Amino acid sequence: MTQVINIQPITRIEGHASIGIRLDDNGNVEDARVNIMSLRGFEKFVEGKPAEELPRIVSRICGICPWMHHLASNKAVDGCFGVTPTPAGRLLRELMQTIAHAEDKLLHFFFLAAADFVIGPDSDYAVRNVIGIAKANPELAKKVVQTRQKAKMILDRFSNKAIHPIAGVPGGFSKPLLEEERRDILAKMREILDFALFTIDFAKKDVFPKYMDAIQTLGVIKTGFIGTVDDQGAMNLYQGKIRLMKPDGTFTEFEAKDYLDYIGEHTESYSYSKFPYARCWNEGFSMDLENPKGIYRANTLARLNVADKMATPRAQAELEEFREAFGRPAQATLLYHYARLIEEVYACERAIEILEDPAITDPDVRTKVEPRAGRGVGCVEAPRGTLIHDYSTDENGLITRANMIVGTTHNIGPMNMSVSQAAHALIQNGKFDEGILNRIEMAVRAYDP
Amino acid sequence: MPVKVASEWLNSCAGCEISIVDMGERLLDVLQVADFVHLPALMDHKYFGQLGDGKHIEIPEADVGIISGGIRNEEHLEIAGEMRKKCKIIIALGTCATHGGIPALCNSYTTDEILERYYTTESTDKMEAFPSEGIPPLLDACYALDEKIGVDIYLPGCPPHSDHIFRALTALVEGTSPKLPEKSVCDTCPTVRKGKGELKQMRRFLQPPEYGAADEPLDQMRCLLEQGLLCMGPVTRAGCGGDNVKPRCISARVPCRGCYGPVRHNGNQLLDMLNALASNGIDFRSLPERKSLLRFSGAHRLLRPAAAK
Where are the domains positioned within chain A? 3-36, 84-217+332-365
Residue B82 pLDDT = 98
Residue A403: beta bridge partners? Answer: A390
Q: Is B133 exposed, middle or buried (0-12, 13-18, 19+ CB in 10 A)?
A: exposed
Q: What gap in Å lies between CA B16 and CA B7, rounded to an integer?
A: 11
* φ and ψ of B64, to 5 deg: -125, 130
Determine the 3-state secondary structure of A244 from DSSP: strand
- Mean of pLDDT values over B39-53: 92
User: Which DSSP category does A118 fall into?
Assistant: H
Q: What gap in Å lies between CA A421 and CA B284, rounded to an integer?
A: 59
Does the distance separating the beta carbons of A266 and B43 come in below 8 Å? Answer: no
Chain B residues lying within 8 Å of A6, measured CB to CB:
47-48, 52-54
The shortest CB-CB distance from B15 to any of A66, A263, A270 is to A66
Residue A148 pLDDT = 97
Q: Are strands B62-68 and B3-9 parallel, antiparallel or unpaired?
A: parallel
Question: Edge to edge, what strands does the sheet with A3-7 contain?
Answer: A3-7, A17-23, A29-36
Whether the CA torsion A157, A160, A161, A167 is positive or negative: it is negative
Which of B32, B43, B119, B250 to mutate to probe the A interface, most A CBs <10 Å?
B43
Share of chain B above pLDDT 90, in %: 86
Residue A168 pLDDT = 98
Does the distance separating the beta carbons of B291 and A50 come in below 8 Å? Answer: no
Residue B196 pLDDT = 66
Q: What gap in Å lies between CA B232 and CA B270, rounded to an integer?
A: 9
B128 vs A: CB within 8 A: no
Peptide bond between residue A329 and the one before it cis (omega within 30 degrees of 0): yes
User: Which DSSP category does A82 fall into?
Assistant: T
Residue B1 pLDDT > 90, yes or no?
A: no
Does the distance separating the beta carbons of B42 and A131 come in below 8 Å? Answer: yes
CB-facing half-sphere around the CA of A99: CA atoms within 13 A: 32
- Mean of pLDDT values over B74-82: 97
Does the distance separating the beta carbons of B129 and A156 come in below 8 Å? Answer: no
Q: Are strands A224-229 and A172-173 parallel, antiparallel or unpaired?
A: unpaired
**Max Cα–Cα distance, chain A, nearest Å:** 70
**Amino acid at residue number A238:** Y
Does the distance separating the beta carbons of A267 and B131 come in below 8 Å? Answer: yes
Size of chain B, expressed as the number of residues it contains: 309
Peptide bond between residue B262 and the one before it cis (omega within 30 degrees of 0): no
Compute how many other C-beta atoms are within 10 angstroms of the C-beta atom of residue A430. 12
- Smallest CA–CA separation between B96 and chain A, in Å? 10
Residue A192: beta bridge partners? Answer: none
Q: What gap in Å lies between CA B89 and CA B92, rounded to an integer?
A: 10
Peptide bond between residue A449 and the one before it cis (omega within 30 degrees of 0): no
Does the distance separating the beta carbons of A11 and B40 come in below 8 Å? Answer: yes
Determine the 3-state secondary structure of A18 from DSSP: strand
Beta strand spans in B69-215 (E) = 71-73, 87-93, 138-143, 153-155
Does the distance separating the beta carbons of A366 and B123 come in below 8 Å? Answer: no
Share of chain B above pLDDT 70, in %: 99
Beta strand spans in chain B (E) = 3-9, 34-38, 62-68, 71-73, 87-93, 138-143, 153-155
Angle between helices B162-173 and B25-33 (to 10 degrees): 20
Chain A residues lying within 8 Å of B97, measured CB to CB:
none
* φ and ψ of A198, to 5 deg: -60, -45
For residue A186, what is the enclosing H or E element? helix A179-202
Q: What gap in Å lies between CA A325 and CA A309, rounded to an integer?
A: 16
Contacts of B82 (CB under 8 A, 6+ apart): B57, B58, B59
Q: Choose among A196, A220, A189, A241: nearest CA to A343.
A: A196
Q: What gap in Å lies between CA A213 and CA A218, rounded to an integer?
A: 8
B308 vs A: CB within 8 A: no
Q: Choose among A399, A398, A379: nearest CA to A69.
A: A379
In which residue ranges of chain A is pLDDT below 50?
none
- Please give the angle made by the CA atoms of A410, A414 and A415, to the nearest 5 degrees: 100
Residue B309 pLDDT > 70, yes or no?
A: no
Q: What gap in Å lies between CA A13 and CA A5, rounded to an integer?
A: 19
> What are the sequence ranges of the domains in chain B?
3-173, 181-302
Question: What is the dotted CATH code of the domain comprising B3-173?
Answer: 3.40.50.700
- Please give the angle made by the CA atoms of B205, B208 and B212, to the nearest 5 degrees: 150
CA terminus-to-terminus distance, chain B: 52
Q: What is the pLDDT of residues B125-165, one digit of tens each?
A: 999 999 999 999 999 999 999 999 999 999 999 999 999 99
Instruction: Compute chain B's Rg from CA coordinates.
Output: 21
B25 vs A: CB within 8 A: yes
Question: What is the dotted CATH code of the domain comprising A84-217+332-365?
Answer: 1.10.645.10
Q: How confident is the model at residue B308 (pLDDT cuts 50, 70, 90)?
A: low
